[in-house]
Structure 1
């Protein structure tokens, strides 16, 4: 009775844990929707996209004017500058031409109010920089899309894992019930002196192992639920309960990695950005045409705004030689483009290998599932027969425990095979999605 009481207390402890944390039922579609709205990986990708858009706006300086205002207080006894200050202040008199005064002007103040205007007209290299920035927005958009697809895949994998854990929980609970039934029968026979102590201890070990496995499953369910909460950006500590879900191919099994997948398309767009950058570097050899204007107010007193003057003009500038800087920059950009081309080719080859491996996993999992279907039927029948014979004293305790363990293991293996198939289908969709 003491051992039976211990088992009942242990089982009640498991049930109490489960009762304290009542699972919250969630459907796969709900989990995916919450993740798409609140997942932090997606939010970061969206922020990167906003940054790229803001960088494009910075290139509006290509044609928009730049206006600068300044107020400067100066003081000098330099003969040339002192006379220049007076000229700018429109304050020169005949006495200022006295050689003694020209050579030793003394401290001469000047308060300069200045407004500068610069207006770009033709800058072909800057135009290419704007085009490159616009392409970066497209790349960021594709990267955001791929991040959303990755989050969908990860959430689905966690949901499938959680679904498997609940299936395993049912199997282990059933095994625990069977083990306890065997223990009760063995205990009664032992009390009657019909069985040995070793038989009772073997059954007790089986029950304890099953209880330990049950506890591990509860912990794994809690851990997987926390990971799912993290993907949905929800508080930790909630235990989720899944609904039965079955994935299959939307259309047909895709055998080739699509080159218009979001991440691959982003890399292809990156190659285009290098083309634009190389073209922009070549155009830096072309002349630039820009307009400028300046308006000044000069006075010998602070906050004085008496003498006004302006100058304006158009400047044509041409960097004829820059010490091979442009030439070497183009060579570097060309090499970087070649590197990205190799990375893209390697990525496609790697993903193709992943796809073939995933297809094999799907086929292997389906075959294993079918094989285990027959094995489980046979193991279940074998256990039923052995239980009857055990009650008649015709088989040993080890035989009945071995049969019970074998049945539980095969049920768990079948659930794992289903998980492997569903997870592989989900990953196949991630590898081949182009929506």
Structure 2
């Protein structure tokens, strides 16, 4: 027969090995480290930074408003067209008196021309492009503020996930303490049953409570793993089996005095800059009604042989162009940008009002949660005292087992509700900081 004592020792050894292996996979992480890691690696933060870089590249494209454009080309041509053939001679500076012979002029034969040409264009005054450049600069600044707001939001999400992980560990701790108490009750009830003092149903009720808490503990362990996975995703780290250890859950006490929404909040500044960009586009489209002034120049080398550059010439000038009428295109483009600007102004006004309402609501939520925490702390003390009294009376046979188990369950429930209230308070506090941009 198998020695039950040996089997128990082996099973205990296996459990110790499994627990130690799980403990090795757990690494402590502070809230500061989690936030800093997310700021560097989070995918949304990286994408917002790329948007900022793209906006900067779009702005740099408008350098063409002031810088020249230079083109270099080399052309090889052959023709027997009389006009073009005589033009080749002029460009190659090889015209002689014999070339004016009518027979040659009318039938020049095949003529070749090889030319290298450098062309340059220099903007002098293009008011529409100048305002378009200012609009691109405002758009770049808008994306910078958007990137800043994205980073602030990810910081809030990390704090939220970290607090939820703290709650998972707190729930596990409460359940472990509850399991210890229930097992003691079960052992006491078993002893009473062995002495014939109580019925079998009391023992079964105690065992049911043990099974229920053990099942809740297994779920609490899964919640710890799930919360760790969520935190790892926010930090932008590769998927792994590593489980994070956190600081213990405690109420985050911060002074809440700011009642008014800051107009310097990054998302509001982003919308203001986008509005500025649209204003610049309105001005740019209006400036399209004004004339443009640009300078141009070209330097050309011509020869009848592929690599010859005997003849050279240049051409420089200033061009004034004025689009008097474009089929109402410019007129309606101005209106379109004006309507877009007005819409963005309405969106900004609405966003500010909604943000102020959300800030006020969050502050009230903090007050309500503080009241709930105070009530839950009192309830935990009362439930603990009630359990102590019932436990003493149960030992004396004055209270049935069901009442004792219910009292113990009530204490565990109050502790979990207190932890839940503290978690909600801390998350709401972080959200308030996000809304008010408190450091």
Name which of 240, 246, 254 aligns with 1:249.
Answer: 254
| Corresponding residue SS for 1:21 | helix
1:109 and 1:300 in contact (8 A); partners too: yes
Name which of 148, 152, 157 aligns with 2:155.
Answer: 152
Tell me the CA shift for residue 295 of structure 1: 1.2
Change (3 A) 1:11 1:208: farther
Name the Cα RMSD after superposition.
2.6
Count of residue pairs the alignment pairs up: 430
Residue 403 (structure 1) aligned with residue 407 (structure 2): yes
Partners of 2:108 and 2:313 in 1: CA distance: 24
Partners of 1:36 and 1:347 in 2: CA distance: 26
* TM-score scaled by length of structure 2: 0.90
> Is the deviation greater in 206-215 or in 189-198?
189-198
Aligned pairs (5 A) from 1:293-312: 293-312=297-316
Tell me the CA shift for residue 9 of structure 1: 6.4
Change (3 A) 1:412 1:135: same
Alignment partner, residue 205 of structure 1: 208
Alignment partner, residue 18 of structure 2: 16
Tell me the CA shift for residue 25 of structure 1: 2.1
Tell me the CA shift for residue 44 of structure 1: 2.7
Which segments of 5 or more consecutive residues in structure 2 lack a partner in the other structure? none
Change (3 A) 1:122 1:190: same
Tell me the CA shift for residue 183 of structure 1: 2.0
Tell me the CA shift for residue 430 of structure 1: 0.7
Which segments of 5 or more consecutive residues in structure 1 lack a partner in the other structure? none
Alignment partner, residue 141 of structure 2: 138
Aligned pairs (5 A) from 1:313-352: 313-352=317-356
> Is the deviation greater in 421-430 or in 158-167?
158-167
Partners of 1:326 and 1:369 in 2: CA distance: 63
Tell me the CA shift for residue 67 of structure 1: 1.1
Partners of 1:9 and 1:196 in 2: CA distance: 32
Partners of 2:194 and 2:57 in 1: CA distance: 82
Change (3 A) 1:110 1:92: same
1:14 and 1:215 in contact (8 A); partners too: no
Tell me the CA shift for residue 209 of structure 1: 1.6
Alignment partner, residue 263 of structure 1: 267
* TM-score scaled by length of structure 1: 0.91
In the TM superposition, what whole-angstrom CA distance separates every residue of 1:59-100 from its partner, at most 9, and x where no partner exists? 221111111100112222333222222222223344444444
1:261 and 1:434 in contact (8 A); partners too: no
1:369 and 1:414 in contact (8 A); partners too: yes
Aligned pairs (5 A) from 1:36-51: 36-51=39-54
Change (3 A) 1:340 1:377: same
Partners of 1:183 and 1:104 in 2: CA distance: 121
Alignment partner, residue 386 of structure 1: 390
2:251 and 2:425 in contact (8 A); partners too: no
1:159 and 1:228 in contact (8 A); partners too: yes
